Structure 1
C-alpha cells in the first residue's frame, strides 16, 4: 500500500520509496535467471551488464517463455501508466510463483529534465536503482550519442577532404544528436567560418532516442548484425540520387566499436526484487518504441514469463511490435491494454487539448461515453490473433462510480478487465490482472496484417484502414515520389513504421474517441534501412523536443551528500 510521510501525511514520493527499499544483491537477481557471477559485469550498486557470452548462450535456442505485451488506450499527454502496470504485473506473476522478467526502455535525459521527470515506473512498481536509471545509468545513451556524431563528423570530413563519393550536400539527411531537449538546435548551419571550417550546409539535431542508431541497436541480434545494420543506414544521396551509407564511408566498424558495450542488456531489479532488463529506448513514433530485441530474447529464454512494453497506444506501439519486432522472433502470447478513468473521460468529453483540472472532476457518464476508444485498442490487438485483457490503472482520485462504469461498459462489450492498484500496492495490486494474463496466454494464434513483400502503398493502406480506421490514404508533398524512389532502391520489402500523433487514432490530435470518415495524409516516406523499416510521416515529426515553461530540471537538485531530489 502507499505509505505516508509521518511528518505531513503526504504520500511517499517514488524516490523516497526507492531509497527505503532493501534491494537484493544483483548477483542474486541474476541467479533467478540461471546466470552466475561470470555472466555479468557489475556497473555499480544494483546494476550489471550481461556478458556477450551470456547473451549468446541465452538466445542460442530461441525464446520459449510466454511473452506478455503491455500496450494501452489513446493516452493523455501525461500517459496512463503502462510502465507502472508492466512492473506491477511482472511482480504479481513472480509473487504467484512464476519465473518472470520485466523488460523496459531506458529513460532519455531530455524527457527526464523536460516534461516527464523520471521514467522508471513509480510507487511500489518501479525499477531500481531509480536515480541511476533516470540519469546516466550505464552510459548506453551517451555511447549512442557519440556513435551517431562520429558518423556526422566523418561525413562532413569527407565533404571537406574532396568528396570522392560525390555526396550532394543538399541531400544530406543524417543529423547530429544530443540527449537533451533543446529546440534551438532543431535547425542549424554548419561549416561556417572559411575553408578550414568545412563545407557550409544546413543541418539539424535530433534527440538521441530519435536517432536511427537507437532503432538499429534495438533490433540487432548480435554484434555482426549490428555492424551490418549500421553499414546500410542511408545518410545522404550522391549526385546520381543513389544512397550513401556508413559502409561507403568505411566507418561502420568504428561505430560498432563505440556500441560494443551498449549492445549488452542492463540487469536491474524491481522494488520487489524481480529481474528487470532495462535496455534501449527508440521513439515510439518514428521507430518501433520498445526495449531491445536482445533483451526480450534473453528475458523470454531465461524465465517463464517476459513482460515487455510498447510505446503509446495499441495503434502505434502494439502495431509496430506486431509488424516489426515480432518478425524478428518475439511474438506476443497475450496483451494487456492499459486504460484509466482519466484517459477514457477525455474521449467521452471530446477534449483536446487535455485539461487535467477538468479531468479530475468526477464524471461517470463521460467515462461511459469514452469507453469505445478502449474497445478499439482491444480490437487492434485481437486483430493480430493476440488475446487481450484491459488493466484499469487506478489513480487515487478515481471515484468508485467511475471505476464501476468503466468496468461495466467494457464487460458489456465482451472485454476481459481487471483493476490494477500496482502503484500503491505493488504485486498485491496486480494479482487479479496476473490471473487473467495466465488464463489468456497462448489462447490465440498470432498473425500480422500484411506480408512484407506487398507493395509499400498496400502496406500503408492496411495499417491506415485496419488499424487506424481511415477511409483511405492521400499522398502529398512528394510522398508518392518517395515511395517510388525507395522501391527503386530495393527497400520495398521492408515493413512500414507509420508516424502520427499518439493522441488520436487519426493524424489529427483533436479527433478523439474512434474517428470515422477521415483520410490519412502521408507527407513523407523515408528509409530507416539500418533498422529495417520505412518511416511513413503523416505530419512534421518532432525529433528534438523543447523544454516546457516549467521544466522538470527546475525541481531537480542535489545536496552536499550527493543525494538527488526532484526525480519522479
Structure 2
C-alpha cells in the first residue's frame, strides 16, 4: 500500500493558473510561487457575485492517537461535492513545522484525499510562517533594545509577556535567561519561547481584513507592563509599521489544489488548543466570493476549534456556517470507550457504545447553535458493519444522520451520500445562536463554554487568574471574547479523561491578554505554548535522496 507522500508524488498536478481559472481569478490576481502554488491578491470584501457561497464547517470528536482524519474528510467531502457538479473551494490552515517534525507528521489530508504539493505545504510553503517568526522576534529584539537603551518606556523586565518564537517543538526553550555576557550584551532577564503558531501575530494575521487592519491590530499588542503596572503596547514602541512590512506578503492567501484539482486556499495556522484554531478570515471570505460551496475546517475537536469558530470567528467573518460536519471514527470512539490502542482492530461494540458519549456531547454542543449538523464516519478497513450501524443509530437518536466517508481509499468517490446530505443540509433554514454575547462578563463566558460545550460543572480560577480579571477590568479588557487553551484530547482539562466525563471543573491558572487579536486566552490545566518532541520524532523517519526525492513525510 502506498504512503500518503507516495500517492502525492505520483499525482498529476495542474498548473496553478488552471486552478485559478476554475474559480474565475484573473492573471493579475494570481502571484505564482513556482508551477503549483500561488498567492491570491484580491479584495474579498468586493462582491464578485450576487450571493456568498454556502459555508460548511468540518469539526470532529476529541482526537485520539487512533486518528479521526478531519482534514482527510474535509478534502474528500469537497472532492465529492465537485463530483456532484458543485463549484467548490476549500479553506484550510497551514501545517506547523513543529508537529510535522514532531509527533503529527504531515497535515494535508491522507490517501486519495490530499492537498498538493504535499511536501511543500508541510515544509516551507510560501514562507508565511518564516515571515511571522521574523516579525515576532523583531519585536522581541526591539523590546530588549529599548530596555538596554535607557528604558524610556519604563518597562519592567519582570512583567514581560512577549516571548520569542520559533516554529519548532523544543521544550528546552520554554524558560530561558537572556542578556548574559556583560554590559554590552543586554539586560539579563527571564524569557522563553512560544511556538510560532501560538504567537499573537499568527492570530492577528488570520483575523485581519487588510494591511491597515493588520497594522492597527499590531499596534494594540500588549508586550508587558511598566514598573507602575501600566500596559505597554507596540504603538508606544513605534514599530508597527516595520512589523507590518515584514508581513505584507504573508497576509495574502495561498492557492493550491487537491489530488482531484479542487481549488484550495491554505492560509494561517493557529493551533486550536492554544489559539483560535482556524484559517484566515481573508482566505475564507475570498473562497466565499469565488465558489458556491466552501468547506472549511476548525482545529482539533468541536470543543476547541468548533466553539472558537462559531463564537469568535463568525462575528468577525460576518457569515455563519450553513452546515456543520462532525467527523468520527469507530477506532477513536472505541478508545474513548476504554479500549487499548493496540487492540482497536478487534471488533468491540460494547467499547464503541461506551465511547459514543463523546460524540453525543459534541452533537449536543454543535446543535445548540441552530445550524444543521451531519456526522461523517471516516471509514477504516477494520470497521465492521455492526460497528458502523451502531454509530449511525446513535447519531439518529441524537437528531443527526451519519454517513460513511471512505475517502482515504477512494477520494471524493468514497463519499457521495455524505456530499448529498451536506447539499441538502445547507438548504435547510437555520437561525444561528451564539453561545454568548461579547458584552457578557468573563466568568459568564467561561462557565457557558464549560457547561454547554464541554458538559462540565463550571470554572475555577487560581488566585492569579482571579486577580488578573480584576486588573483587566481596570483596563477595560474584562469583556473580551475568551479563547480556551485546553488539552485537545479530553472535554475536560485532563488529557487522560476520555469519553464524556461529568461533574468536572476547568481550572484556569492564568489569563494572557491579546489585545491585537481581540481576546483573552484562558490557560487551563497543564497546557503549554511550546510543545516538546516525542521519544521518536517524525523527523527520524524523513529523508531525501540525491534527486531531491523526499520519503517518510507521513
Q: Mapping of 1:248-263 within 5 angstroms?
A: 248-263=236-251
Secondary structure of residue in 1 paired with 2:553: coil
Preserved CA contact (<8 Å) 2:511 2:523:
yes
- Asked if structure 1 preserves the Cα contact closer than 8 Å seen for 2:45 and 2:285, the reply is no
After the TM superposition, which of the residue ranges 292-301 and 396-405 deviates more from structure 2? 396-405
Q: Equivalent residue for 1:317?
A: 305
- 2:242 and 2:51 map into 1 onto residues whose CA distance is 31
Residue 276 (str. 1) matches residue 261 (str. 2): no
The 2-side partners of 1:205 and 1:385 are apart by 40
Q: Does 1:341 align with 2:330?
A: yes
Spell out the pairing of 1:224-235 with structure 2 (5 A cutoff): 224-235=212-223
| Of 205-214 and 460-469, the range deviating more from structure 2 | 460-469
Q: Give the Cα separation in 1 of the matches to 2:47 and 2:185.
A: 47
**Which of 177, 181, 186 is the aligned partner of 2:169?**
181
Aligned residue number for residue 3 of structure 1: none
Partners of 1:313 and 1:252 in 2: how far apart? Answer: 34
**Alpha-carbon shift at residue 242 of structure 1 (Å):** 1.3
Please list, as runs of the form range in 1=range in 2, the aligned pairs for 1:152-551 lying within 5 A after superposition: 152-328=140-316, 329-349=318-338, 355-443=340-428, 444-551=430-537
How far the C-alpha of 1:487 sits from its partner, in A, is: 2.0
Per the alignment, residue 6 of structure 1 pairs with none
Counterpart of 2:64 in structure 1 is: 76
Partner of 2:96: 108
2:8 to 4, 18, 23: 18
After superposition, the Cα gap between the structure-2 partners of 1:232 and 1:59, relative to the gap in structure 1 and judged at 3 Å, is farther
CA change 1:110–1:460 in 2 (3 A) is same
Runs of 5+ consecutive residues of structure 1 not aligned to the other structure: 1-10
Structure 1 residue 442 displacement after superposition: 4.3
Aligned equivalents of 1:78 and 1:198: distance in 2? Answer: 48
Is the partner of 2:526 in helix, strand or coil?
Answer: coil
- Superposed, 1:547-562 pairs within 5 Å as 547-562=533-548
Shift in Å, 1:57 = 6.2
Partner Cα separation in structure 1 for residue 304 and residue 45 of structure 2: 32
- Quote the residue 1:32 is aligned against: 22
Superposed, which structure 2 residues align to 1:14-163 within 5 Å?
Answer: 14-51=4-41, 54-56=42-44, 64-77=52-65, 79-163=67-151
Q: Spell out, residue by residue over 1:339-372, the C-alpha distance to the aligned partner (whole angstroms, 9 max, x if none).
A: 00111111222x6xxx421223221221122212
1:411, CA displacement in angstroms? 2.4
Cα distance per residue 1:499-534 (max 9 Å; x no partner): 211112112222222222222222111211111111
TM value normalised by structure 2: 0.97
Q: Cα deviations across residues 105-153 of structure 1 (Å, max 9, x unaligned)? A: 1111111111111111111111001111111100000000000000000
Alpha-carbon distance between aligned partners in 2 of 1:345 and 1:17, rounded to the nearest angstrom: 29
CA distance in 2, matches of 1:302, 1:154: 40
* 1:41/1:546 CA distance change after superposition, 3 Å: same
Q: Secondary structure at the match of 1:171?
A: strand
Give the distance between the partners of 2:460 and 2:165, measured in 1 at CA: 32
Range with greater deviation from structure 2 (141-150 or 23-32):
23-32
SS where residue 121 of structure 2 aligns?
helix
What's the secondary structure of 2:476's corresponding residue? Answer: coil
- Counterpart residue number, 1:4: none
Return the alpha-carbon distance in structure 2 between the equivalents of residues 437 and 557 of structure 1. 40
Q: 1:58, 1:302 within 8 Å by CA — same for their partners in 2?
A: no
Aligned to 1:5: none
Aligned residues of 2:66 and 2:331 also touching (Cα < 8 A): no
Conservation of the 8 A alpha-carbon contact between 2:217 and 2:516: yes
Shift of 1:558: 0.7
Query: Aligned Cα RMSD in Å?
Result: 1.5
Q: Is the partner of 2:274 in helix, strand or coil?
A: coil
For the Cα contact (< 8 Å) 2:358–2:500, is it kept in 1? yes
